[in-house]
Structure 1
Amino acid sequence: MRRSLSALVCAILLATPAPVSASPVASAYVIRPGDTLSSIAKRYRVALSDLRAWNGIARGEPLRVDGLLRLTAPETPLPAWSTRVLTVTAAEANGDPAKKCPVPASDLRKIWVRYLGFDGLAHDGYVIMHHTVAGAIQRAFGRLYRWRFPIMAMPPMVVEDRTVLTLGYECRFVAGTTRWSQHSYGLAIDINPRQNPMLRGDYLDPPNSRTWLAREHYWPGMMHEDGAVPAFTVEGFYWGGRWKTLLDYMHFSTNDR
């Protein structure tokens, strides 16, 4: 699946934080703590009923912090959420057999999910994870879709910069060690790395994500403890944003490593 050039431009614009003093984006709004649908409608001079209809929000349904709220009418409503689980081939799992990855392809699953893109549209993508967490991953992405939390990019989307990809399984060591990463077991997932970077001392990953270390802001794709984070933590995942020796805002794992 290839995203169109116009959609990618839209994603980049939404992903680039505006200065605090700048006017908010006119077509979308990231829900902050304390927001109500009526206060947002008043602020942007739109009818409350339109705001509900454009975003599929039922009367009385609470807003979810970190969700991306439409401020204009969509061409078509978001389709229903969907998901499916497929087996994984050895080539998809390990690529080079010489790497001797720690789990066989038979233990992994390709989990397809529908997600909300930074362009405000629905897309289908997948993550590869261990079969024991497939159901939990499906439920977590189902919540993110209902909460209108945006994902910048997932495979099979073709991108020039892999640091924008939400990924699960990767056969690799922990950076700077010869110890297998939890990603190598299919037991960890990184969500929107650009918007949720990892910081260890002076080491920043991805290196072009320093702007998003300002975690007091609520910009598209950022995950906060009072917002999108519980989509995974209620399923038994631990969040790297709670770590002490380093901060890894993108990272969720089953064993807090």
Structure 2
Amino acid sequence: LASGLAKGGAKPVYSTHSTFIQRTYDQLSQDLCANNNPATLLITMSGADGMNDTTHLCIFDIAMMSNIPNLVYLCPTCVEEAIAMMDYAIDQTEHPMAIRIPNGVAHRSVKFDTDYSKLNMYKVDKRGSKVALIGLGSYYALAEETAADLAKQGIDATIINPRFATGIDEATLTGLCADHQVVVTLENGVIDGGFGEKIARFYGNSDMRVLVKGLKKEFYDKVPYGELMERNRLTPKQIVEDILNRP
């Protein structure tokens, strides 16, 4: 319905939970994206903090949606960025666009872009050296927390807001090679087929070490969020340990 409305010139906005978008892969791929109709999808309750039981997991949307041609999947870090992305997505007519709405009500006093037509351009919010932390969407805050812990170890880490889950910024990633040894990707979803693996693949023929952080592919069942973080080594302390312990 949303795809047909968009083809007819309307500005449809369809919102649904991450777990339910999993049930409509063919509609996403064939009805929406194959026709490149510019509908806007709002994906809610996504990630480990949005999950419930085994049949209502919300951790597969990035791996599923980011690999469909034509679809642009934006991952805002806060309320203000989500609003900026929604304003752009509704007005543009080039692509079907999905926005991964953060579960928490986080705010950032930053001037956000209002034009996302240059696809897959990351934002380097803090330039450091040695270690780069790429925090996708709601895990941007985790990148900031990890950077604060790394600072206690004498490491001034770079912090990057990738914004796009559906592609890589080759220029930004290549630029890190000059003065970084480790790139850490943080995503609130499964690692397999996800955002971090795209980064790791890009650096495959280089000397850059990549630490991909997310959730193991598993059917979790009513696991408390804190326990999930510990189990998948996603706390700032564990991430710092894994960075420092890598050969």
TM-score by length of 2: 0.28
TM-score by length of 1: 0.28
Structure with a larger share of its residues in helix: 2
Structure (1 or 2) with the larger CA radius of gyration: 1
